Amino acid sequence: MSIDRRKFMKVSGLTALALAGGKGINVLAQEDSTSVAAPKTGSFETPLTAKRWAMVCDLSKCREKEGCDVCIKACHERHNVPDFGNPKDEIKWIWKEHFEHAFHGQEHEYITDEIRHTNVPLLCNHCDNPPCTRVCPTEATWKRESDGIVMMDWHRCIGCRYCVVACPYGSRSFNWRDPRPHIEKIDESFPTRTRGVVEKCTFCEERLAKGLLPACVEACPAKALAFGDLEDPESEVRALLREHFTIRRRPELGTAPEIFYIV
């Protein structure tokens, strides 16, 4: 098919116009995003996939803003995590803990105050060798073969709490009471849980399926959380692991946690 000069000029003119217009809209959108959340909906046609999902948390960035809990709020709002207002009943997918509690045995009396007083964000480690899945009698929790996410099937959980005991990181919480009345604002697109069910972080597998990053990673104002494929040498997490010395929680247990921390 041939194209004459007139047609070419028309098309290129329109293209230039469209590009300029698009840029203008982008600028507006950027300005807008500082004040109001621009809804990102994602699409099932462009899922995020990996052979082994992992996360690297840069604590130096994380402690920039004291008392920051944006990641916790983002996660807990997104997943309808209840707040019972009572530490005994607490449900947590991501939470913060003092450095010496998070990395018990890896601290000593001469570490700097800055490190000692770091509140470390903790979540399910999505272990390569998860002890929780081995004890589940109903296979309600299992390590997904495709990308290593330690999954939960709340339909199947019978609330025996073996997994809660097996997890050495306290990543699993049990609903002692009906959670629904204790959820501040329900996100309708995600289910709640019921009484008698264990829950934990799922690495936002429902968001990955739509091509969106985990809610905590997306929300972090300091960009302290990096998320990517451990098996891909070009990924952001591998780059960070190459450049920095990282620690993990209780590596001596042999669970092979997949959340790495840059101190």
Partner 1 sequence: MYDSGKVIIGVLVFLALLLFPVWYNLASGEATTQGPELAKPVKGEACVLETAYMRSNHMDLLDDWRERVVRNGERIFAAPDGQHFEMSLTNTCLDCHADKEKFCDECHTFMAVDPYCWDCHIVPETPTRQEVTYVN
Q: Rule CB under 8 A: which residues touch partner 1?
A: 33-34, 36-42, 44, 70, 73-74, 77-78, 144, 146, 151, 153-155, 186-194, 205, 209-210, 212, 215, 218-221
Sign of the torsion formed by the C-alpha atoms of 175, 83, 104 and 54:
positive
**Smallest distance from the beta carbon of 82 to partner 1, in angstroms?**
12
What is the DSSP track for 157-203?
-----HHHHH-TT---EE-SS--GGG-SS--TTS----TT-EE---T
Q: Which is nearer to partner 1, 76 or 172 (CB)?
A: 76
Judged by beta carbon, residue 73 or residue 182, the one nearer partner 1 is: 73
Q: Which two tokens stand for residue 72?
A: 């916790």
Report, in Å, the least distance between residue 57 CB and partner 1.
Answer: 17
Q: Which amino acid is at 115?
A: I
- Cα–Cα separations (whole angstroms), residue 244 to 58, 60, 98, 204, 261: 10, 12, 21, 26, 9
What's the Cα-to-Cα distance from 114 to each of 3, 61, 90, 142, 160, rounded to whole Å? 67, 12, 28, 37, 40
Task: Pull the structure tokens for residue 240.
Answer: 């960070």
Which DSSP state fits 46? S
Site of tokens 């203008």: 24
Nearer to partner 1, 8 or 190 (CB): 190
Q: How far is CA 248 from the centre of its chain?
A: 16
Which of residues 199 and 241 has its CB atom nearest to partner 1 in the complex? 199
In degrees, rounded to 5, the angle at the alpha carbon of residue 140 between the alpha carbons of residues 138 and 141 is 125
- The closest of 249, 201, 233 to 104, measured between CA atoms, is 249
Q: Least distance to partner 1 from the beta carbon of 44, Å?
A: 5
Q: Which is nearer to partner 1, 2 or 41 (CB)?
A: 41
Q: Which is nearer to partner 1, 10 or 65 (CB)?
A: 65
Beta strands in the chain (DSSP E): 53-58, 94-98, 119-123, 141-143, 150-152, 173-174, 198-199, 225-229, 246-247, 259-262
Q: How far is the CB of 9 from partner 1 (least distance, A)?
A: 40
* Nearest-approach distance from CB 120 to partner 1, in angstroms: 21
The distance of closest approach from Cβ of residue 77 to partner 1 in the complex, given in angstroms and rounded to an integer, is: 7
CB of 181 to partner 1, least distance (A): 13
Q: Which is nearer to partner 1, 104 or 134 (CB)?
A: 134
